């Protein structure tokens, strides 16, 4: 079965690498995402273990469609009874490139498809009409909690029809439920940890930990704890294939939970998290406890500008205020103070997720790398630094 692993901006190569590391057969990597050829058992493994991917979709069909009528007819060609019953709730979501009005390859004028909401409506109508024709009953639409989520993705005039296998997205692990004012998404945190390259041989320090997402992801990656081992997935609810998928997923989750318990019991990690805000420290403590990691991460309430000397080789990985949602006018002063305060403290490298243009200048360390990412709609950069001489 053709599946598509979606990647947040800046993480496509990372998602492809994690798929290959898991032994999943990657058939292509392009602007749409990472294309995979998977059996049901492999789908279960991917859902439970993927860290950086945002969603996993099951491909049903692709068709060129320059207007609403053509799109409607294309949707009718899919045998929706393989996936829905007349009593199943469903919803259709459309993303991707709009199709402008104009003359198509067939020489005919086409109205185009410029409104993605209209795309979703036309596909919804086709599904409902076909199910009504076959079963005499029109299935209900539920955009908040559908049994089956259908995703239509447009790319250069072609529309791919997919089923969302996860819903909610893979970033929602069900662990870091306590969020701060500017939350870092779990899949972005996993990408940051991966790009930072922390190898467990030295300390990992997050001196502005917020709700602790970075340190939770770092600890889980270091211990091989599967991000989806305690959550459920949309495909388990499907009327036609849900029971079989639940069996595969239960097997995968049970094995992952046992491995996690063993890894936590034997773990020796040097991870330190701190924040100046006591509420943030409390949130981090709650999320660490929820993840079963409370005994493995040292947690302190401390101003990031006043960290004590660290063991040689310490790696800082952190997500400071950007000055967008939090931070205000004093954020540049904070960056400058961090650069001064961290000198001579044993830090070998600092990896800082920044959404502020002036961070590198104010921080003052030698920049060694830059990687563009996106967190919750904000364009950010993971900046790598080494201490000045």
Examine the pLDDT at 324 and tell me if it is beyond 60: no
- The CATH homologous superfamily to which domain 186-228+259-386 belongs is Vaccinia Virus protein VP39 (3.40.50.150)
Nearest CA to 187 out of 380, 60, 14, 370 is that of 14
Average pLDDT over residues 288-294: 93
Q: How far apart are CA 344 and CA 347, in angstroms?
A: 7
Reduced to 3 states, what is the DSSP secondary structure of residue 150?
strand
Average pLDDT, integer, range 335-343: 94
CA atoms within 13 A on the CB side of 162: 26
Per-residue pLDDT tens digits for 19-35 = 999 999 999 999 999 99
Categorize the per-residue pLDDT at 4 as very low, low, confident or very high, splitting at 50, 70 and 90: very high
Assign 225 to helix, strand or coil.
coil
Distance CA 159, CA 119 (A): 10
Is 345 within 8 Å of 310 (Cβ atoms)?
yes
For residue 308, give the DSSP letter: P
Least confident range of 180-194, 199-213, 335-349, 364-378:
180-194
C-alpha distance from residue 111 to each of 62, 70, 108 (Å): 20, 10, 10
The domain limits of the chain are 2-164, 186-228+259-386
Q: CB within 8 A of 344, min separation 6: which ones?
A: 309, 387
> pTM for this structure?
0.92
- What pLDDT score does 113 carry? 85
Average pLDDT over residues 99-108: 72
Longest dimension (CA), the chain: 76
pLDDT of residue 328: 52
Do the domains 2-164 and 186-228+259-386 sit in the same CATH topology, yes or no?
A: no
Distances in Å between the alpha carbon of 310 and those of 270, 307, 314? Answer: 11, 8, 6
Would you call 17 helix, strand, or coil by DSSP?
helix
Q: How confident is the model at residue 182 (pLDDT cuts 50, 70, 90)?
A: low
Which pLDDT does position 199 carry in this prediction?
86
Res 341 pLDDT > 60:
yes
- Res 176: pLDDT: 64
Task: State the burial class of residue 214 (Cβ atoms within 10 Å of its Cβ: 0-12, 13-18, 19+).
Answer: buried
Would the pLDDT of 383 be above 80?
A: yes
pLDDT, residue 69, reads 93
- Residue 60, pLDDT > 90, answer yes
Say if residue 325's pLDDT is above 50. Answer: no
Q: What is the pLDDT of residue 326?
A: 47
Distance between CA atoms of 289 and 302, rounded to whole angstroms? 20
Band (177; pLDDT cuts 50, 70, 90): low
| Tokens of residue 125, six digits | 């109508």
Q: Is the pLDDT confidence value at 272 over 50?
A: yes
pLDDT range class, residue 70, cuts 50, 70, 90 = very high
Read off the tokens for 382.
């993971």
Q: Which residue has the tokens 């709609």?
A: 377
| Res 303: pLDDT | 95
**pLDDT above 60 for 384:** yes
Q: Mean of the pLDDT values across residues 170-193?
A: 82
* DSSP H/E element including 339: helix 331-341
The rounded percent of the chain whose pLDDT value lies above 70 is 95
Kindly tell me if the per-residue pLDDT of 83 is higher than 80: yes
- At residue 201, the pLDDT reads 86
pLDDT of residue 357: 81
How does the average pLDDT of the chain come out, rounded? 92
Q: The domain 2-164: what is its CATH number?
A: 3.30.2130.30
Mean pLDDT of 203-212: 96
Q: Would the pLDDT of 132 be above 90?
A: yes
CA distances from 6 to 35, 220, 231, 287, 321 (A): 9, 21, 19, 26, 27
Confidence of residue 106 (pLDDT cuts 50, 70, 90): low
């Amino acid at each position: 079965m053709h599946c598509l692993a979606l990647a947040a901006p800046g993480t496509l190569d990372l998602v492809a690498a994690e798929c290959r590391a898991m032994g999943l057969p990657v058939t292509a990597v392009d602007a749409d995402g990472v294309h995979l050829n998977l059996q049901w058992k492999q789908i279960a493994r991917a859902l439970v273990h993927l860290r950086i991917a945002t969603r996993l979709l099951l491909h049903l069909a692709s068709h060129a469609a320059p207007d609403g009528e053509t799109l409607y007819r294309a949707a009718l060609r899919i045998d929706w009874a393989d996936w829905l019953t007349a009593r199943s709730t469903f919803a259709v979501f459309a993303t991707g490139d709009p199709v402008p009005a104009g003359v198509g390859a067939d020489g005919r004028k086409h109205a185009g498809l410029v409104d993605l909401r209209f795309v979703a409506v036309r596909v919804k109508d086709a599904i409902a009409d076909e199910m009504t024709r076959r079963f005499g009953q029109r299935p209900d639409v539920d955009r908040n909690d559908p049994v089956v989520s259908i995703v239509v993705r447009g790319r250069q005039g072609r529309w791919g029809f997919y089923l969302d296998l996860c819903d909610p997205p893979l970033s929602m692990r069900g662990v870091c439920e306590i969020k701060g004012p500017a939350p870092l998404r779990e899949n972005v945190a996993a990408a940051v940890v991966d790009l930072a390259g922390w190898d467990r041989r030295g300390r990992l320090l997050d001196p502005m930990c917020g709700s602790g997402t970075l340190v939770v992801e770092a600890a889980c990656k270091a211990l091989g704890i599967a991000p989806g081992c305690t959550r459920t997935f949309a495909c388990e609810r499907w009327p036609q294939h849900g029971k079989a998928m639940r069996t595969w997923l239960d097997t995968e989750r049970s094995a992952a939970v046992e491995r996690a318990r063993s890894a936590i019991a034997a773990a020796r990690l040097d991870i330190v998290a701190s924040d100046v805000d006591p509420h943030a420290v409390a949130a981090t403590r709650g999320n660490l406890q929820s993840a079963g990691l409370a005994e493995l991460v040292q947690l302190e309430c401390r101003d990031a500008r006043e960290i004590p000397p660290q063991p040689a080789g310490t790696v800082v990985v952190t997500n400071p205020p950007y000055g967008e949602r939090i931070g205000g006018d004093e954020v540049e002063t904070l960056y400058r103070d961090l650069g001064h305060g961290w000198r001579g403290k044993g830090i070998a490298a600092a990896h800082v997720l920044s959404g502020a243009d002036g961070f590198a200048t104010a921080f003052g360390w030698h920049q060694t790398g830059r990687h563009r990412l996106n967190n919750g709609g904000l364009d950010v950069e993971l900046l790598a630094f080494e201490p000045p001489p």
